[in-house]
Chains A and B, each alone.
Chain A
Amino acid sequence: MTQDRPAPRILIVEDDDAAARAAETAARDLGAQPTRVASYAEGLAEASAGDYAVIVFDRMLPGGDGIEAIAQLRATGSTALVLIVSALGRATNKIEGLEKGADDYLAKPFDPDELRARLRALLRRAAMVLSDSDLVAFGDLEIRVKARTVHVGPRHVPVSPKEFELISYFARNAGAVVTRMQLLENVWNLHFDPQTNVVDVHVGRLRRKLEQAAGRAVIHTERGEGYVFDPARSGA
């Protein structure tokens, strides 16, 4: 990310101190400037007044449910991306939240890393200049969106349709940590956590294919956190 732009602002609407502090920490870690309020009404007022890139909304707030705020926010013309962070954390709650316009939904209790990864993905989306370019290139690694092909230099890397979706999601979040849960939700559209490490196996396969073709690691593991797609980084 270019550093001469002003730090993006993140609004945190959360009445639980620990959760709010975790969100503030995550925001500062990402170079964003957090603002914190603790009730539904304040949240809504602040969200419509300020220019926020991302809003972190709790659900069971004094005065209301963050999900109900989304429609009102959109009505005021706010384009801020909304991350719901809530104790209502069952798959059904998440799907309801996403259907009502939330851009992402994180259940409590959450790992600080998970929150940071979600926030980073949203900040990136907020800053992203939409390009309809068919070709996404990272050095010699090229992804052709329409043809759904991956090449490293002249070498074609054969990927399954799911693996293509996986690498596309990684590419959109290149350089940033992507968690297993994010992959399950965004690539497989599953909003619960299987007990087995199915995602790791898929990432492992894609990683080996890319590594074989590129002669270097392309997807890196962040211990305990997730994966980073970074074709430029050297070493594992």
Chain B
Amino acid sequence: MSALRRSASLRVTLAIAAGIVLISLSAMGLQYQLTARALAARQAELLQSDLQAFAATYQQRRIPALRQAIDFRSKTMLPDEAIYLLQDREGVKLAGNIGGWPVGITPEGTGFEATPVLGYDLPLGPGGDRIAYRGIARELPGGFRFLTARAETPREVTLAGLRAVILPVAAGLVALSLLAGWLTSRWVLARIGRINRLADRVAEGDLSARLPGARPDDEFGLLETHVHAMLDRIEALNRATQRLSDLIAHELRTPLNRILQKIRMLEAPGAQKQALEAEIHATTRTFNALLDISSAEAAGGARPGLLPVDLAGLAGELCELYQPLAEDRGMVLVGDLPGPAMVLGERNLIAQVLTNLLDNAMKFCGPGDRITLSLSPEGDRHLMVVEDTGPGLPPEIRAEVTRLFVRAPRDRAVPGHGLGLALVQAIATRHGARLALPETAQGFKIEIAWPKLT
């Protein structure tokens, strides 16, 4: 469900569902308003037609005719539908269907005019229930008081019925929209999830990964087709690059090998031949380092080919390899390597990182210097630190020392090709490790934070 909460498609679907619910509820609300207004208008019309009839009667024969008309109506109408009352100036009831003049009502307006129509709330229902009415209370010439009003009850009953329908319908609508939204988002998520899983596999380095099965003839199918076409292209390019580097290797190393075989047959002093051979081997080393850097960079972050490696064990082995050399040169090499420190990596590449760093330390340090190789856990990383008390990095090349062929002018006399730290950087990147060259008061320090194997 947490994937659902984070998913864009679900958010869109929820928004659409909310839209549907909102529009439907508005429509129902409008319907309700219209109904309420129509009912009110009907009640008002009934009242007005009563008034017009009474006015006409009054016009002809004044109070006796009005009294007769009210009497007639009072026989057919109950007070919970409509009320009628006519009183003389002493407050004696002349005609009507209610007992007496209700408390709190004062006559307003003149004659049988259409306005003002007022709302009254009177306890005239069965058992004294209060009923809402709209009607008029007037004082006619001669002190006669006349009251007629229509109950709001029929309107209220109809509207209450409407409300009772609207609520469950709205609840059902919300539930259905959510269900529809959930189904849609599940369907969309499944389609997008398929493509995302493919992208993950490719990102992990499996360029030949493809989606199985038939592709439907819709936008998602088209997207899958596009992704496949893109992957085909990337794979072809990658193969071409790989083939090119193999071909370059072949075309360069084969003639170098011919030269090397012929050097042995030359009539020349041994020292000269050895110098030539050394030159060829140095060229090959540079060439190897460049290819290693580019292939490590190309494979950056990819998983295939990586196996669990114990950094502590490997660093211990290399410490042991360099220990006697350090001793012979009067340096102290210390390994602080609590293990195991498991990472996912290529043993050979990590060994190359350590070899390059220790080789550098051996090259630049002198008798009395101290070289420390340490490992410590730091959050989700194993922090590997190689530190020495040698001359350190000249500040002008600190920023770019991990770039290809960058060497300090100071070190022209020291053998090397300026690829060591570039290779270290490339291999670190290939393993998703972070490399840092913190400033130190003295000597050289490099930190590589390898992701822990979990």
Contacts and interface: CB of A to CB of B under 8 A. Distances in A.
Nearest to B320: A162
Contacts of B416: 195
A198 B351 contact: no
Interface in B327-356: 328, 346-349, 351-352, 355
Contacts of B270: 224
A191 B348 CA distance: 7
B348 A190 contact: yes
Contacts of B349: 91
B355 A111 contact: no
Interface stretch (A13-21, A35-43, A169-177): A13-21
Given A89-B249, A191-B348, A201-B325, A196 B359 contact: yes
Interface stretch (B7-15, B139-147, B251-259, B372-380): B251-259
Interface stretch (B112-120, B192-200, B283-291): B283-291
A87 B288 CA distance: 11
B321 A87 contact: no
A19 B292 contact: no
Interface stretch (B43-51, B85-93, B260-268, B403-411): B260-268
A19 B321 contact: no
Interface string B386-400: 000000000000000
B246 interface: yes
A192 B348 contact: yes
Interface string A191-212: 1111111100110110000000
Contacts, number: 107
B325 A198 contact: yes
Contacts of A202: 321, 324
B332 to A, nearest CB: 15
A87 B249 contact: yes
Contact of B261 (A22, A190, A224): A22
A194 B359 CA distance: 7
Given A21-B261, A95-B348, A202-B321, A192 B328 contact: no
Interface residues of B, number: 44
A72 interface: no
Contacts of A189: 347
Interface string A44-88: 000000000000000010000000000000000000000000011
B348 A109 contact: no
11 contacts: A19-B258, A87-B253, A108-B253, A111-B277, A193-B281, A194-B355, A195-B363, A201-B325, A202-B324, A204-B324, A224-B274
Interface of B: 246, 249-250, 252-254, 256-262, 264, 270, 274, 277, 280-281, 284-285, 288, 291-292, 295, 317, 320-322, 324-325, 328, 346-349, 351-352, 355, 359, 362-363, 415-416
Which 5 residue pairs across A and B have the least CB separation, nearest first? A87-B253, A109-B257, A18-B258, A108-B257, A109-B256
Given A87-B249, A91-B352, 17 more contacts: A19-B254, A19-B261, A22-B261, A89-B253, A91-B348, A107-B284, A108-B257, A109-B253, A109-B256, A110-B260, A111-B260, A162-B320, A195-B416, A196-B322, A198-B325, A202-B324, A205-B324
